[in-house]
């Protein structure tokens, strides 16, 4: 077996054979340590117990405004997030889940008729067996997906660059990648990367956050935003000793298929949230430093303006046109003299 095959084999074995349920995990890395957002709880309550019992995610990568959209869940496991998303996309939307581990996918497939009947999902959802490094092999066409989600999976890939290349191939222009995963505050030594338990527990393959930024920049994705971040606790003493001083974090990230700039530039633009997003009528959080209150104008950089104006969020925002260039965007400017706009970062 080559290195990639060995990792696929170890990961399939961990999720298909070693783990029988969420309680078998040795750390909080693959558990829902980010509190599930309130708006998702009623949808989660509708999901089959067997699916929930084998949930191994590390966040809640379900963004707003999914009605009528096509959503792709990479490494869907037993399908928890697919079943939540399927309730949100409605009759005009579609959800595709991809996973390589038969035992995981089997639970998703076997409970599909139950979910279809209970939730009237019709043919909104389908699960495909395959590798997230090669989405062509599971028939995902170029520019066909509105939103890619993933929950604690990409860290497990032996070829993360291929995964991200595939994501930005299949996303439509203006489409969104919204995923939760484990990141490290430094590069890991080789023996930790190869340790099957460190790998299976979503630690060994954790990307150093700066290398993640570089990888996406290389693929033409110049501006990535984070919406949630929490430190992972290593309760297992053996794992904690192996990890030493490395800090591991569960982070939820969003990135768009847009030609953005590598720095925030100031074009004098103002963005206003007009309300209307289901489950978030009064405010919208783009990332950890942009919280838009309904009807409150905010000065934004060119990249943020594009994220709101050239994506599915555009129908909920008014964004002024670029006038002229004023240099780098000042992330902590004085309040606008006439008080009409407030700075946002």
Ligand X SMILES: C[S@@+](CC[C@H](N)C(=O)[O-])C[C@H]1O[C@@H](n2cnc3c(N)ncnc32)[C@H](O)[C@@H]1O
- Note the residues at the interface with ligand X (CB under 6 A): 11, 15, 30, 55-57, 75-77, 80-81, 99-101, 104, 131-133, 151-153, 156-157, 202
Supply the minimum distance, in Å, between the C-beta of residue 77 and ligand X. 3
Q: Which is nearer to ligand X, 155 or 304 (CB)?
A: 155
Q: Which is nearer to ligand X, 55 or 212 (CB)?
A: 55
- Phi and psi for 251 in degrees, rounded to 5? -130, 140
Supply the minimum distance, in Å, between the C-beta of residue 101 and ligand X. 3
Q: Which is nearer to ligand X, 106 or 314 (CB)?
A: 106
Supply the minimum distance, in Å, between the C-beta of residue 32 and ligand X. 8
Q: Which is nearer to ligand X, 111 or 304 (CB)?
A: 111
Q: Which is nearer to ligand X, 80 or 242 (CB)?
A: 80
Supply the minimum distance, in Å, between the C-beta of residue 240 and ligand X. 20
Check the CA dihedral 51-57-59-63 and report its sign.
negative
Supply the minimum distance, in Å, between the C-beta of residue 282 and ligand X. 29
Supply the minimum distance, in Å, between the C-beta of residue 226 and ligand X. 19
Q: Any long-range contacts for 110-115 (C-beta under 8 Å, 24+ apart)?
A: 110/50, 111/48, 111/50, 111/51, 111/78, 111/79, 112/79, 114/48, 115/46, 115/47, 115/48, 115/83, 115/86
Q: Which is nearer to ligand X, 115 or 290 (CB)?
A: 115
Q: Is 69 exposed, middle or buried (0-12, 13-18, 19+ CB in 10 A)?
A: buried
Determine the distance from the C-alpha atom of residue 19 to the mean position of all C-alpha atoms in its chain, rounded to a whole number.
Answer: 23
With residue 87 as reference, give the H or E element that holds it: helix 80-89
Supply the minimum distance, in Å, between the C-beta of residue 15 and ligand X. 4
* Pairing state between β 225-231 and 248-256: antiparallel
**Cα 76 to Cα 225: distance, rounded to the nearest angstrom:** 23
Q: Which is nearer to ligand X, 5 or 261 (CB)?
A: 5
* Pairing state between β 283-287 and 317-319: unpaired
Query: How many angstroms separate the Cα of 172 from the Cα of each of 20, 148, 150, 232, 286?
Result: 37, 10, 17, 33, 19
Token duo for residue 66: 């999914």
């Amino acid at each position: 077996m080559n290195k990639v095959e060995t990792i696929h084999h170890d990961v399939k074995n961990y999720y298909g054979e070693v783990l029988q349920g969420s309680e078998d995990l040795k750390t909080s890395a693959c558990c829902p340590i980010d509190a599930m957002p309130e708006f998702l709880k009623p949808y989660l309550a509708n999901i089959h117990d067997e699916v929930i019992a084998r949930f191994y995610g590390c966040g809640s990568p379900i963004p707003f405004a999914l009605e009528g959209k096509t959503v792709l869940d990479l490494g869907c496991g037993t399908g928890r997030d697919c079943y939540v998303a399927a309730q949100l996309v409605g009759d005009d939307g579609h959800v595709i889940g991809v996973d390589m581990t038969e035992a995981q996918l089997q639970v998703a497939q076997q409970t599909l008729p139950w979910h279809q009947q209970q939730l009237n999902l019709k043919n909104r959802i389908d699960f495909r067996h395959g590798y997230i490094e090669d989405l062509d092999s599971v028939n995902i066409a170029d520019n066909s997906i509105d939103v890619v989600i993933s929950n604690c999976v990409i860290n497990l890939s032996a070829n993360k660059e291929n995964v991200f290349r595939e994501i930005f191939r299949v996303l439509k222009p203006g489409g969104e990648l919204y995923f939760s995963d484990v990141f490290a505050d430094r590069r890991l030594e080789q023996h930790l990367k190869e340790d099957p338990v460190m790998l299976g527990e979503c630690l060994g393959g954790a990307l150093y956050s700066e290398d993640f930024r570089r990888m996406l920049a290389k693929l033409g994705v110049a501006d990535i935003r984070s919406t949630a971040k929490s430190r992972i606790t290593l309760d297992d003493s053996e794992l904690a000793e192996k990890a030493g001083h490395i800090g591991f974090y569960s982070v939820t990230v969003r990135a768009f298929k847009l030609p953005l700039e590598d720095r925030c530039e100031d074009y004098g633009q103002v963005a206003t949230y007009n309300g209307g997003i289901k489950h978030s009528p009064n405010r919208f959080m783009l990332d950890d430093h942009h919280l838009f209150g309904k009807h409150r104008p905010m000065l934004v950089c060119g990249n943020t303006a594009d994220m709101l104006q050239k994506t599915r969020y555009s129908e909920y925002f008014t964004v002024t046109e670029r006038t002229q260039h004023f240099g780098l965007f000042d992330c902590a400017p004085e309040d606008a003299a006439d008080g009409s706009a407030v700075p946002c970062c």
